[in-house]
Amino acid sequence: MSEATPAPDKPTGSTAPAAPSRRDDGLEARAQGALREMLTSSWLVTVLAIVLALVISAVLIAAADPEVQDAAGYFFARPGDFFSAVGSAVGGAYLALFQGAVFDPGANTVARQIRPITETMTWSVPLILAGLGLGIGFRAGMFNIGAQGQIILGAIFAGYIGFAWDLPPVLHLLLGVIGAAVGGAIWAGIAGVLKARTGANEVIVTIMLNNIAVYLVAYLLTLTSFKREGSNNPISPVIGENAAYPLLLGSQFRLHLGFVVAILAAVFVWWLMNRSTLGFAFRAVGSNPSAARTAGMNVNRVYILVMVIAGAFAGLAGSAQVLGTEKVLTAGVAASFGFDAITVALLGRSKPLGTFFAGLLFGALRAGGFAMQSRTGTPIDIVLVVQSLVVLFIAAPPLVRAVFRLPSPGGRGNAPAAELSAPVVKEAAA
């Protein structure tokens, strides 16, 4: 694998073994070590992966732009036209993306100017919550693709409690949220129990459960107990006022309490994975199920618990949609959050803080994507390209280092690549 990383500016052999941890070396070596650490840090790779993804997407944006195509027709006569057309197409799209996701200086009121960043936060809530759940699974060596179905189940439970029951404030919301978590946990628990009992591959089972959930919600919305009265469309009644997440910044913004739930969930996941015995068992099973079993851990119980907890988080993501953003249950309530959450968890390296920021980033791409589509006509589909490329590049640090000519850590090209793939690979080997 060493030929995978052509690193012309690799430090010479004498400094290569100087690991950053060795303190008693000379000042020069330490400085070089620090620089090396910076250049090989995973954060730098993350940033560069995002840059690379944006550059490749820019090529697509430019290629599909009619003015760029016209200018390319007479490229050799006036190359300047071509480059200015590319610049305006790409620049315009990315500027609109930024203005739709962070801050819009062109709006007339302050509220409208800062509205984009609150939209980003609103979009990020389900992504963060579902991503946290998936991250727990990845670290325990379970590849759960079922967040989509778990979100739908959470939404069904939360929605039903929201519109069918009539309860006092606080209690109603609390029950709705708990219901959502239970719904997601049940759905994911099926995959966990099947894996523990029969060894059924959780990838296949969760994919199937996703599809079943899609038809289940479509079926439920044809029933009189779920359908809005007097409507022929598959749409539920609006949830009760007491069941809705309170808005955080007043009625001008859609941002709701779900965002706080997402933050609390991230803190909880950090505690669970890094400070609790259960989290230790999760990580132990993730890195080597056989060793965990030898050490006396009940691996099958861990499989079930991991799925149940992951499903509960995905269910919470469903509650954020039904009780927060949408306030009704529809067949499309989960949009593609479940699938996007996979990329969120991968981008966040399955860690709570990383997942939180990855969720914010993808929420921003989503919020900005709509603005970009309406202002410059660049379809929002390009956001999918950016997202998938970011994750691909992050999963292959040697590729990013090769593109940007960075030195590889420890002199071995493939070490960090294994980091992302290790748990799943080991799990499959067991």
Among 105, 110, 224, 429, indicate the residue that binds another protein (CB under 8 A): 429
* Binder of another protein out of 222, 225, 251, 277 (CB under 8 A): 222
Cα–Cα dist 15/29, whole Å: 7
The residue (of 1 and 295) whose beta carbon lies closer to another protein is 1
Segment near another protein (CB under 8 A); pick from 80-88, 290-298, 310-318, 376-384: 376-384
Stretch that binds another protein, among 7-15, 33-41, 295-303, 418-426 (CB under 8 A): 418-426
In whole angstroms, give the CA distance from residue 398 to residue 155: 40
Q: Where are the alpha helices (DSSP H) in 140-276?
A: 147-164, 171-198, 202-220, 258-275
User: Which residue, 58, 198, 205, 88, is CA-closest to 144?
Assistant: 205
Q: Any bridge partners for residue 330, and if so which?
A: 235
Comparing CB distances to another protein, the nearer of 190 and 269 is: 190
Q: How far is the CB of 66 from another protein (least distance, A)?
A: 7
CB burial of residue 172 (10 Å; 0-12, 13-18, 19+): buried
Q: Which of 315, 387, 398, 399 is nearest to 347 (CA)?
A: 387
6 counts as binding another protein under rule CB under 8 A: no
Q: Among 203, 248, 260, 299, which residue interacts with another protein (rule: CB under 8 A)?
A: 203
Query: What is the nearest approach in angstroms of another protein to the Cβ of residue 51?
Result: 17
- CA distance readout (Å), 408 to 5, 167, 415: 8, 59, 9
| Binding flag, residue 392, another protein (CB under 8 A) | yes
Binding flags for another protein, 178-197, as an x/- string (CB under 8 A): ------------x---x--x
Per CB under 8 A, 70 contacts another protein: no
CA dihedral 280, 288, 134, 40 (to 10 degrees): 90
Restricted to residues 267-306, the positions that interact with another protein (CB under 8 A) are none
Q: Which stretch binds another protein (CB under 8 A): 117-125, 150-158, 203-211, 243-251?
A: 203-211
**Following CA atoms 265, 267, 271, 274 in sequence, which dihedral angle do they give, to the nearest 10 degrees?**
110
Give the tokens for residue 285.
Answer: 């099973």
Say whether residue 408 binds another protein (CB under 8 A). Answer: no
Residue identified by tokens 């008693």 is 24
383 binds another protein (CB under 8 A): yes
CA-to-CA separations, 7 to 341, 366, 386, 393, 402, in angstroms, rounded: 34, 36, 26, 18, 7
- Give the range of 180-188, 279-287, 302-310, 395-403 binding another protein by CB under 8 A: 395-403
Q: Which is nearer to another protein, 200 or 249 (CB)?
A: 200
Binding mask 144-163 for another protein (x = CB under 8 A): -x------------------
How far does Cα 136 stand from its chain's mean position? 13
Q: Which residues bind another protein (CB under 8 A)?
A: 1, 4, 60, 64, 66, 143, 145, 190, 194, 197-201, 203-205, 207-209, 211-212, 215-216, 218-219, 222, 339, 342-343, 346, 378-379, 381-389, 391-392, 395-396, 398-399, 414, 417-418, 420-421, 424-425, 428-429
